Structure 1
Amino acid sequence: MKKLFILICLSSFISGFSQEKETIDFKRNELKGNVLFLVLGAGEITYERLINEDSGLGVSLFFVKEDDFDTEFSLTPYYRSYFGKKTAAGFFVEGFGMINSGNTGSYSEYDSVNQGYYTVEGKNFTDIALGFGLGAKWTQKRGFVFEINAGIGRNLFNSNSPEVVGRGGITLGYRF
């Protein structure tokens, strides 16, 4: 009986199976630049870390010294969820937070009493916005990435800041 019990125990170890999930190894880091903003005279650099095959966390740094933009600087962390067949590619939705600062810009107004124009100086602002975005990403086997995205958010705290902020672009990058 003792020998039969030992034989059953040993055979159960041999025929046992592992319940460990099979992991797929893939490149998890992306570094991208927004070529649309580069053409418009601004710069945006983005780093994204892929959490798994369907999601990623990233941060974008936007900067400009042109008067055409209200926002001169923004730091935008985001979370993305991907719905494509490839790893972290295809259609995606994102939620983002944005720390943004800039100047609301100066403009001219007409004074009907003095019958002349005068300049109203813009006000500096720093604010935090929350928003969401949509986009699509295509990847190449060698690691090159092409992305189109757009998003909208709302500033929360400062009355001098624009009420609505935008986010978007056409980016090129590399996954490593």
Structure 2
Amino acid sequence: MNKISLFLMTLLSFSFFNAQTNETNAETSEVNNEIKLNLITPLLGAFEVGYERFLNKNSSLGISAFMVYELSKNDDMNYYISPYYRYYFGKKYASGIFVEGFGMLTSIDGKKIYDATDKLTFTEGKDIYDLALGAGLGWKLMTKKGIVFEANIAYGKLMFNADKTDHNQVIKLGLSVGYRFK
């Protein structure tokens, strides 16, 4: 009887300890995902959506996708896919000021040729695909309901085909709204 009682008390103490651990980690284990929409890009005739997965209180991995739908407003960039890593400095879980490092697979129009006599612009060659690397910083605020507001800016350099286009750098600007979920 004493062995069974000792075994049950040990089992109960482990389950009590596990329950205490789960209560303290409830905030961190329940909100590991975030999806957001950039509110600036429609002004440029484009659409950008992002997904972020939180690794812990201070870091996350994410990916964003940008695509132009109105070529008359944005005639250089076609689309990009950009994975990133962020480190947060805020006191709350994955919020406050952050820094990010990113990569970007991008499609940009080729070099432009201007014909002054006919006042025409031609694109030399086809779209240029390139990889860019860069860094940025930003700020994130989360409400108790899980609504997220984010502002960020990032700068990067094209790595391989910058000589085939009129650009050698990329800039990411964001003013986003999103939602955090399990």
What is the TM-score of this pair, normalised by structure 2?
0.77
Shift in alpha-carbon separation, 1:131–1:147, aligned structure 2, 3 A? same
From 89, 92, 95, the counterpart of 2:98: 92
Q: Does 1:73 align with 2:66?
A: no
Equivalent residues of 1:143, 1:175 under 8 A apart? yes
Q: Which deviates more, 156-165 or 82-91?
A: 156-165
Are 2:34 and 1:33 equivalent residues in the alignment? no
Confirm whether residue 52 of structure 1 aligns to residue 53 of structure 2.
no
Highest CA radius of gyration, 1 or 2?
1
**Is the partner of 1:141 in helix, strand or coil?**
coil
Structure 2 unaligned runs (5+)? 1-16
Q: CA deviation at 1:40?
A: 2.8
1:152 aligned onto 2:152: no
Partner of 1:167: 172
Would you say the 8 A contact 2:59–2:86 is kept in 1? yes
Q: CA deviation at 1:109?
A: 4.2
SS at match of 2:94: coil
TM-score normalized by structure 1?
Answer: 0.79
- AA of the residue aligned to 2:53: R
- Mapped partners of 2:86, 2:174: distance in 1: 16
**Residues 27-83 of structure 1, C-alpha deviations (whole Å, 9 max, x = no match):** 010000001112332100000000000010000000003243211110000000000
More helix by share: 2
The answer on whether the counterparts of 2:44 and 2:73 sit within 8 Å (CA) in structure 1 is: no
Corresponding pairs, count: 152
